[in-house]
Amino acid sequence: MTMSKYLLETRNVCKLFPGVQALIDVDFTVRSGEVHVILGENGAGKSTLIKILSGVFQPDSGCIYFNGQEVHFSDPGNSLRLGVSVLYQEPNLVPHMTLSENIHLGNERHKSVLSPAIDEQRQIKNTIDLFDELNLALDPYELVSELSLAEQQMVAIARALHLSANLLILDEPTAMLSQREVSQLFSVIRKLRARGMGIVYVTHRLEEAMQIGDRASILRDGHKIATLSIDETTRTDLIRLIVGHGISDSVDRQENTSMREVLRLEHVSSMKGIKDISLNLNSGEILGITGLIGSGGTNLLQTIFGVNPISSGQIYFEGEPVKINSPQEAITRGIGFLTENRQEQGLVLEMNTQENMSMSALDEVSIGPLIDRLAENRLVKHYARRLNINSGLLESKTRYLSGGTQQKVLLSRWLASRCRVLLLDEPSRGIDVGARAELYGLLNELTRRGMSMIMVSSNLPEIFTLSDRIAVLRFGQIAEILSRSEASPARVLAVMNGGSIQ
């Protein structure tokens, strides 16, 4: 039998879900010692493909070859035994166990063939060797719960190495990492590539694809559109293939000259790590907030929204001192919150799109204790047209919507509630390039109509695209607030890391 030149190969793979053809005759290959990037809009089929490769789903038709042999990944355990390891955004580790115990979980080293006793010292030595190979400064005795997300990902990669994985699938691995942590991850990926491991890298971030990838395959509407060499393409080419036409995520952000203040914080602190925050927000303004991972952006928004109680300081809303002790009080005053984790903290996944959209405006569509379904339908269709939400999706459960559509559903909810201040936490996380451009245009249009926004984002291009002013957080405190003209990437990065640009 002739050896295949590919570590992994799929031929004519198809997958059908009720009402959705998720994959249609997809041919996909991965070579040993390469990083193959998978790109595509939300709903293009990326998640379905990697779930088939990891045994979560089985294809309805088509063939999969691994190491030159036809295989059937019947379940995740089966694919892992055959040499396929998957690393999701949040690694599947046991928090209360040590790093060494996690790496060897299910594959423990015993003192002898006949002894059930675990040889802990041998496992510790093996863990140290793995960390040395990957150049990781981690303590094998440390608990997983004490690690950052980036460090947990490194442990998961070390575990894949210990299990002799030939293929590593990384699903949006940098979604919650800082730039420094991304650089460390890329260093480890290059080491794995150099030792011959095949790597599938799923991402929405085109700059990462250009930086770490060898080849890229683009999926659109369940079809594989193209596979090409990264060295022979450009970011513009990739965008055109992903969305089917050219697109720009830049917006015509006009200078905000309003001096009418809608929100002010004076020396606000909370038990969740916010310390002595003072800032103000004007009508029609987007105040961008950025910082290193863990700097306190999410906690600040949750404090304004009444999730975290204030321990000291004062919030003023439209010039009046207010106490916001709960999200309901914030909503009543006209404050909305587009959360970072839309599936767990924003949407009710088992409810349909229409019900999720009208949730914050039930007073407008109710007669006494009963919902007026005709009024609800009129309200929802109005905002569906305004935000370009397909009316055919209004009866679908929100768990089945793409990330970009889910984000628009949440945004429509706050528009329906007539909110005047919108808090946004990582608004473009997990949505594709086309949906991001559409979202940016919507946010820009809303501020032109007078809505004010505080946007927390770790994505600096996003911060510079949308913000009128930029506040840099460091250890729960504002290190500096910069005007649009004062800010530069170099200056913001320097402030984030405790330095300055002279």
CB atoms within 10 A of CB 494: 17
Report yes or no: 158 and 98 within 8 Å, Cβ to Cβ: no
Is residue 474 within 8 A of residue 295, CB to CB? The reply is yes
Q: What pLDDT, on a 0 to 100 scale, did the predictor assign at position 501? A: 44
DSSP per residue over 200-227, as a string?
Answer: EEE-S-HHHHHHH-SEEEEEETTEEEEE
Within 13 Å and on the Cβ side, how many CA atoms surround 79?
Answer: 23
**What pLDDT band is residue 246 in, cutting at 50, 70 and 90?**
low
Residue-level pLDDT at 502: 39
Average pLDDT over residues 461-480: 91
**Domains of the chain, residue spans:** 8-243, 250-334+420-502, 344-418
pTM of the model: 0.61
pLDDT for 27-36, tens place per residue? 999 999 999 9
Instruction: Give the mean pLDDT of 457-467.
Output: 87
**pLDDT for residue 403:** 72
pLDDT of residue 383: 80
Q: What is the CATH number of domain 250-334+420-502?
A: 3.40.50.300
Residue 454: the pLDDT is 97
In this predicted structure, the answer to whether residue 360 has a pLDDT above a threshold of 50 is: yes
Are 489 and 464 in contact by the 8 Å Cβ rule? The answer is yes
What does the pLDDT read at residue 255? 74
Average pLDDT over residues 58-64: 95
Which segment of 19-23, 242-246, 347-351 scores lowest on mean pLDDT?
242-246
Cα–Cα dist 466/464, whole Å = 6
Question: Higher confidence at residue 178 or residue 138?
Answer: 138
What integer pLDDT is reported at residue 374 of this predicted model? 85
8-state DSSP, 2:
P
pLDDT of residue 120: 85
Percent of the chain residues past pLDDT 90, beyond the cut: 42
pLDDT at 466: 92
Average pLDDT over the chain reads 86
Give residue 115's pLDDT: 64
Alpha-carbon distance 85 to 63, whole Å?
19
Domain 8-243 listed as CATH 3.30.70.120: no
For residues 293 and 75, the model is more confident at: 75
pLDDT surpassing 80 at residue 304: yes
Domain 8-243 shares a fold with domain 250-334+420-502: yes
Q: What is residue 223's predicted lDDT score, i.e. its pLDDT?
A: 92
116-125, 224-233, 425-434: lowest mean pLDDT where?
425-434
pLDDT of 405 reads 81
Summarised one tens digit per residue, pLDDT across range 419-454 is 899 999 988 876 767 777 888 888 888 898 889 999
